[in-house]
A and B are shown apart, each in its own frame.
Chain A
């Protein structure tokens, strides 16, 4: 009898445990983000920034007594998770927002309305931030996120490769045609061992979108209703890009398998265009002493030999610090955002070499964060070039992905470039019509 009792007991316990799970699951669930007022859960997608940000956050913890737990995920997982969290009602307290999806999150009231808190704050005044970024995270006059940073694009070149093939280094006088000539000279002389340049279909913000805008084209119209991919100027830029792909780059399969950074660091590619968020990768590389940075080339559209407005573009973007609409600790979450975005800590963020600031004029110290490497080009791009905000709409990811998928074909056979661009424009218009 004893054994029977034990057996029954065990099994009932197991069954109960299961039903308990089932029952609780079936309940409405309280929702609400995790993290009580003594700890905040923060999620970001860039592992290179976590140390600096944690340091800034720890100073906040020292005065507020609230612990900050920053977790990093890869880009893809980050969005899968955030979306799942938003669906299930469990988002991190504070997290990064990106222009690609901001509209979707704002429209669905997933983000905390910051208006009243910004009004009450003596540290945050939205006019102090890059308007393109601040405006991105605003909808119907409600501010949902505060700019964390902004970025620019510059050209990185490997002096060793340039020396080897006896080509002059890039400088601020370069037009895209000069760029092409130099890249082609290296590719021809390299005979399969070295190439001038490499970008993949996905290198849009840090690659071909800049060329499109330099040539006077555009990706998406101001009202976000039509695609600019079939604009004559865009097509002209894409034809030029096709020339670059054909004459100066390794096969797309090689680029896709390794990424531009690896190819550049191993000396296979002489030049790469990179965003300011990526400097550290090159700063810490084995061969970093060979690297130099220059502004992106420009396109002398009016042929006057000088750089005019819109001829040297840098597509810029900025992450926003946002909080979950249903966080348990909205006040603490806000205070942390306020802390990260205050002028003092924006300067500090640049100081530590995390990224450039979202706060206007707070990025100067970023240039000196990389001792022994001159990265002035990124700041020059901003002063001497034209900043264009990263093209986006409500479902940016959808057409951006479609664009990449289609362009793979054009990358592999550049003669199809124009047709591909027209197809993209058609698809994109169809997608935009549904937004």
Chain B
């Protein structure tokens, strides 16, 4: 069934390759070579300093999947995502709707909510660690408690989730405002005529019409949350008693690959995480077809 290309098609193809060449070459060198390298490593017992890798087949996969650490870290990853994604999306949605009108101080609010996005991650980690500090922290002082916010295995995951929500809230909100502004005003007018006000408009007009944006945010935030690294790496010290209940997959990979120098197992962790992300993305796409409203 292979058809010869016409001359015009050939010209077009040549131009195309020329246009995509920088990006594709860059991606191959910067990203695909490392990915393939990692996949290969996951089948190897890696030697010191990347030497003497020996192929061991699925041994790393069997070790990782039969050991508890992967499942615990995966569970921790989901726990983090379960806090960060719904809360940051819902609060952002409410804020976006409240801000999507002519009102005094609108841009001031928007500026403040977005502020965490432009803060360096190390700064965010430092200040939250300081706020959450059991001995000297502001939070325990204000509430008169003696809670180990980030060191109590029972609640540390919530505290980390709070930092996550705080960090990403403004970003989600700005995306929502973008989506809200594309909803034609007629819909609201029509809804008003039908007698729908406030809350009802929110549920019957705003949410359905905003669903593509909401869906996009949820999807990208799930992927982002599953790849969480900076926050946990910076906030949770190695002697933190809650580490085991909070440490997500990527920091565990980092520990294996860099602290233990066990690149093979580290690679296996990442590849497994990648498979989980791929599966979730496919699920999301399916869900999108079913629930999201496109006009």
Residue ranges of A at the interface with B (Cβ–Cβ < 8 Å): 11, 14-15, 18-19, 21-22, 25, 76, 79-80, 83, 86-87, 104, 107-108, 110, 200-202, 250-258, 263, 266, 268, 395, 397-398, 401, 404-405, 408-409, 411-412
- Which residues of B are interface residues toward A (Cβ below 8 A)? 18-19, 21-22, 25-26, 28-29, 48-51, 129, 133-136, 148, 150-152, 237-244, 258-261
B150 nearest in chain A by CB position: A257
Cβ 8 A contact of A253, one of B49, B241, B244: B241
**Residues of A with C-beta under 8 A to B150:** 257
Determine whether the beta carbon of A405 is less than 8 Å from that of B260.
Answer: no
Do the beta carbons of A256 and B239 come within 8 Å of each other?
A: yes
Name the one of A108, A202, A250, A412 contacting B241, with C-beta atoms under 8 angstroms: A412
Q: Chain A residues near B240 (CB, 8 Å)?
A: 253, 256-257, 408
Task: Decide yes or no: A83 and B239 within 8 Å by CB, A22-B29, A251-B148, A254-B148 being known contacts.
Answer: no
CB distance from B257 to the nearest CB of A (A): 9
Evaluate whether A256 and B241 lie within 8 angstroms (CB atoms) in the complex, with A83-B261, A401-B259 already known. yes
In the assembled complex, the Cα of A189 lies from the Cα of B129 at a distance in Å of 29
In the complex, residue of chain A having the shortest beta-carbon distance to the beta carbon of B147: A253
A257-B25 in contact (CB<8A): no
Question: Within the assembled complex, what's the spacing in Å between the Cα atoms of A208 and B65?
Answer: 35
Q: Is the CB of B49 within 8 A of A404?
A: no
- Beyond A15-B18, A80-B258, is A256–B244 a contact (Cβ under 8 Å)? no
Complex: A381 Cα to B155 Cα, angstroms: 43
Taking CB atoms, residues of chain A closer than 8 Å to B259 are 76, 79, 397, 401
Question: Which label, helix, strand, loop or mixed, suits the secondary structure of the A interface?
Answer: helix
Contact B238–A83 (Cβ < 8 Å) = no
A-B complex: 10 closest residue pairs judged by Cβ atoms: A253-B151, A253-B148, A87-B50, A256-B239, A18-B25, A408-B241, A87-B49, A86-B49, A22-B29, A15-B21
Q: Are A18 and B133 in contact (CB under 8 A)?
A: no
Q: Are A268's CB and B135's CB within 8 A? A: yes
30 CB < 8 A contacts A-B: A15-B21, A15-B22, A15-B25, A18-B25, A21-B29, A79-B259, A83-B49, A83-B258, A86-B49, A87-B50, A107-B48, A251-B148, A252-B151, A252-B241, A253-B134, A253-B148, A254-B151, A256-B237, A256-B239, A258-B133, A258-B135, A258-B136, A263-B135, A268-B135, A395-B260, A397-B260, A404-B239, A408-B241, A411-B241, A412-B241
Neighbouring A residues of B26 by C-beta, 8 Å: 18
Question: Within the assembled complex, what's the spacing in Å between the Cα atoms of A26 and B241?
Answer: 45
Which residues of B have CB within 8 Å of A251? 134, 148
